[in-house]
Chain A
Amino acid sequence: MASKSDSQDDLDDPSSSSARPSKKSSLVVPPNLSDQEALFYKTAAKFTLGIREGQLESEIPEIPVVKIVEIINSLSKKGFLEILFIGNTKAFRIVKYEEAGKIASMEMETMMVYKQIKAAGNEGIWTKVLKHKTNLHQQVITRCLKALELKQMIKAIKNVKYPTRKMYMLYELSPSVEVTGGAWYTDQELDTEFIENVAKACYKFIYSRSFPRGQPDAVFAASYSGLPTATQIRRFILDSKISSIDLSLDDIIALLDVLIYDGKIEKRMPVFGGATGADPDWSDDEAVGDAEWRYKANRERKAGREESEPWTEVPCGRCPVFKFCTADGPINPSSCVYYQKWLEF
């Protein structure tokens, strides 16, 4: 979903906050800048999300405030600086030299389209939204997109949520999890077979750790600390080469949640103290393991005792016309074919 956000920042690196300077190694300062312009450019480059209006004075004390407006104007005219709005405050972000060259050679419309696509980041932007935002004619947009695609500056992507939408993003970015759907999607489709296989493997692994081996009716005590955590389960899945894709911890947790919803396993808070002290090498297995949820398999149904559900054993529980069945209607228990079949020996 291409939601409108008032700041046009592409969140290349969401962990870094805009208020803090970030360290970027190779910075090419464009030639033919004045000393003060170059200084401004270098300082602003430290902020990936742009330098705020209020930060200017403290960050660049060398330049007097009156001069700053001039510098900003000249930089932005040359295409080396863009002005953003973060909330109500203005922020200034540099445009890299090589990029500025590319953009400078573009037409006005193409530039607008490019900037919008860039702003959408790794989420991509729908052509319809693009049209709405740039306010350009459809034909113009199509032309621009074609030109940009030819230059390998943007690429078309497919969104799993909206497979019919034509979406674009910058060529060098890789689509976000939202767009691709994550590890569980293959060719924009949920790979149910793959999910099932991995889920089965997870369940088997958890089951083997939940009950003592060799004793059919035995259980572990409540203080048992051998229940696997999601990290352990992930390692097992990766080690056993069940999945060719690198599944993240979140992916595994999502899968375990599904198993919980299916009633096959359950989550347990880890046990602290007590018997855990008796087994010293369990905790250095992983440093974060102590606070993680542990997973326990539920006992499989015992054969013979409950081989079928009570209601569905009787034909009525599975009857497709149950709602129409009445004591003396056209469909009735006396002449019911399902009963006939059931009662045949």
Chain B
Amino acid sequence: MAFTQRLCREIIKDHFGPIVERSSRISPSFAHNSFLQKVANVLLNKGRLPCGAIALFAKLTQKQVRECLVVLIQHNIAYYAEIAERSRIVVYYEVSEEEILLRIRLGAILRYSGEWFGKEGALVAQHILRNELVLFTKAFTNMVRERFLVAVQAQDSISAKDRAINAEAAELEKLLMPPTAKELKNIRKLRDDRADAEYHSSVVIGMKRKLAESVGNQAKRHAPEVLEEVEEEFYFRINNDRYNIRFRNEVIVNYAVDRINRSAGIVTKTMLDHGEEKMRRTKEDKSPAVTAVQISQLIPATINLETDIVLESAEFTANSLPSKQQLVHEYLELLQTDSAGFLRKEDERGAGLYVVAFDKLRDHLKRKVLDSVVREKYGSASCRLMKILSEKGKLDEKQVRAIIVVMVGMSYFTTIVVRMALATRFVISLICVQKLALLPAKETRERLATLGTQGYLELQEVPKAADRAPSRTFYLWHVPLNQCYATLLVDLYRTLGNIRQRKRDEISARSRLLDKAQRQDVIENQALLSEEEQEHLRLLNETIAKLDVGELRIDGLITILRDI
């Protein structure tokens, strides 16, 4: 937790801190950004607090605190909650770590907005992030329609949990008697369903539709064209979920290219693009279904799929080239049979109804990240050991026999423990591991111990006798996968914190030079900088670039571990 908070502090310092204060125009009216940092830090450390307490801890006046909170709420980092305590209503404030951590991705958001919606899109995103007025351009309308921007509503400043609690309280108030457990359950389910339905509704808030003026006869034949416009009284913010979906889709397409080839990537991308409008969250289990025919129609004719697939069937000889639909079918088959499990066949309808299996891919990609980290840090043999340990689902007979032989002569209780362990297929003894991994016993033991101390493995003790003597105990290893991912994620946050700190140090060490370089006269005339100064400036830029690249790549891992 401490390391996540530290990263949050670094981000706040970076986005609202003294550097920003000096070099950019973010909220010019707000002069004391260091106050904002103080407030954010207090909320990060202490959790939910009322305004007075924040002022006390941050050693600021309540007015200053309130100003800071406005900015934080405006940036969607802070939430408030009104809570009735006896006769009065107390307003509590909290900051959301998740929202702050998502700010790491602002750079990527700006870049991709530019890529997807043209220069205008990038400008729109930039303006919105700076909380400036936005001109309602075409790119803006597109971004709203595709939900990359969402309208801000009053309840958005209340945390999701509070909203749920409030909704529940409102329902309960309607009842005359205290609710039974069943009623309470119903109310909660209703509440969740409603929130879900709202989230998934196809109506875009902040858009209004109007009929286009009919142009001649054409309008009679076609359905009347509907023009969509953004309603001007709404405020908009970046929709992180939507951007994350795009990022997730890109990760999957790249993975398909890596694992199979370019054309498989194209097929996957077509599928994902087709269903993208209906995707709302990254945690969905599968993409909207597409039929094979639809996919082959969606792939533009200019793309040549047949060059990089070798079909051995007799139907496709030199004189009768396979049709596009056949090719697409082959690729779908490939993607489906791949062990990463890109696709799942839902039905036979329309030459097969396919979905992208996000749930399976998610596990696979996470696993891949973990494996590569373990391989790089502890060697491929350790990675192999971990794989063996976690693939307990494939316990073969020999191992079972080995374990069952040991079970003779154990107490009844112990036997049950081992049986349970076997049933859950989570544990495996050292001897079995070593045998499967084809590694010397000594090396296996050392490697397992290292992985154990690093938190990648856990040990289950099964005592043979009631005295629990170590010599009469089985030590069975297992991989707590979710725990591994969580540890890894925190380690990555910690690394990001380190990178940011280092970056800040690098900048502040050369702050005088930077100040000079940013002076108006120096910008106009570079010759005012000495050769040495220019060299230093170049070095600084390169250093920053290197740190930024590292940060970006790590953020890619975070996307896989957290957002996919």
Give A residues with C-beta under 8 Å from B.
1, 3, 161, 184, 189-190, 192, 195, 212, 215, 217-226, 254-255, 257-258, 261-263, 266, 268, 274-275, 278-279, 298-299, 301-302, 305-306, 309-314, 316-318, 322, 325, 327, 332-334, 336, 339, 342-343, 345
Contact = CB atoms under 8 A, between A and B. Distances in A.
Contacts of A3: 405, 408
Contacts of B384: 258, 261-262
Q: Sort A-B residue pairs by CB-CB distance and give the 4 closest, nearest first.
A: A310-B553, A222-B333, A333-B498, A316-B495
A218 B261 contact: yes
B438 A190 contact: yes
Contacts of A223: 312-313, 330, 333
B380 A222 contact: no
Nearest to A305: B258
Interface string B419-447: 00000000000010000111111000000
A274 to B, nearest CB: 8
Given A316-B494, A316-B498, A219 B260 contact: yes
Output the residue of A217, A219, A226, A310 with the most chain B CB within 10 A: A310
A334 B506 CA distance: 8
A222 B373 contact: no
B259 A299 contact: yes
Contacts of A345: 539, 542
B194 interface: no
A189 B388 CA distance: 22
A343 B543 contact: yes
Contacts of A263: 371, 383, 387
B264 interface: yes
A219 B261 contact: yes
Contacts of A336: 498, 502
B556 interface: yes
B336 A222 contact: yes
B85 interface: no
22 contacts: A184-B438, A190-B439, A217-B261, A221-B333, A222-B336, A262-B384, A266-B339, A278-B313, A278-B315, A299-B258, A301-B258, A302-B258, A305-B258, A309-B372, A310-B556, A310-B557, A311-B373, A314-B499, A325-B498, A327-B501, A333-B498, A339-B502
B310 A309 contact: no
B376 A309 contact: yes
B554 A311 contact: yes
B373 A218 contact: no
Contacts of A318: 376-377
Output the residue of A299, A301, A336, A343 with the most chain B CB within 10 A: A343
Contact of B553 (A161, A220, A313, A316): A313
Given A190-B438, A221-B311, A311 B492 contact: yes
Contacts of B502: 333-334, 336, 339
Output the residue of A1, A3, A190, A302 with the most chain B CB within 10 A: A190
Nearest to B503: A333
A218 B312 contact: no
A262 B333 CA distance: 25
Contacts of A343: 506, 543, 546-547
A222 B376 CA distance: 32
Given A318-B376, A327-B6, A192 B261 contact: no
A274 B553 CA distance: 43
B229 to A, nearest CB: 43
A317 B373 contact: yes
B237 to A, nearest CB: 29
Contacts of B408: 3
B330 A221 contact: yes
Contacts, number: 161
Contact of A310 (B439, B547, B554): B554
Interface in B486-517: 491-492, 494-495, 497-499, 501-502, 505-506
Nearest to B406: A1
Interface in B227-270: 258-262, 264
B405 A298 contact: no
A260 B495 CA distance: 31
Interface in B261-317: 261-262, 264, 307-315
A223 B337 CA distance: 10
Nearest to B333: A222
B501 A334 contact: yes
Contact of B259 (A222, A279, A298): A298
Contacts of B339: 266
A260 B382 CA distance: 14
Nearest to B551: A314
A339 B408 CA distance: 56
Nearest to B539: A345
A279 B313 CA distance: 8
Contact of A261 (B388, B431, B491): B388
A267 to B, nearest CB: 8
A268 B339 CA distance: 9
A220 B383 CA distance: 29
B355 to A, nearest CB: 18
Nearest to B498: A333
Interface string B64-90: 000000000000000000000000000
Contacts of B307: 215, 218
Output the residue of A212, A254, A266, A327 with the most chain B CB within 10 A: A327
Nearest to B547: A343
Nearest to B555: A310
B451 interface: no
B470 interface: no
Given A224-B312, A263-B371, A314 B554 contact: yes
Contact of A1 (B259, B262, B405, B550): B405
B557 A254 contact: no
B334 interface: yes
B172 to A, nearest CB: 45
Contacts of A189: 440
Given A3-B408, A302-B258, 11 more contacts: A218-B261, A219-B309, A220-B312, A223-B312, A257-B436, A275-B312, A279-B312, A311-B491, A312-B376, A312-B377, A317-B376
Contacts of A219: 260-261, 264, 308-310, 334
Nearest to A308: B376
Given A219-B260, A221-B330, A278-B313, A192 B499 contact: no
A209 to B, nearest CB: 12
A95 B152 CA distance: 93
Interface in B18-47: none
Contacts of A275: 311-313
Nearest to A298: B259
B8 to A, nearest CB: 12
Nearest to B402: A1
Interface string B539-564: 10011001100100110110000000
Contacts of A298: 259
Nearest to B314: A278
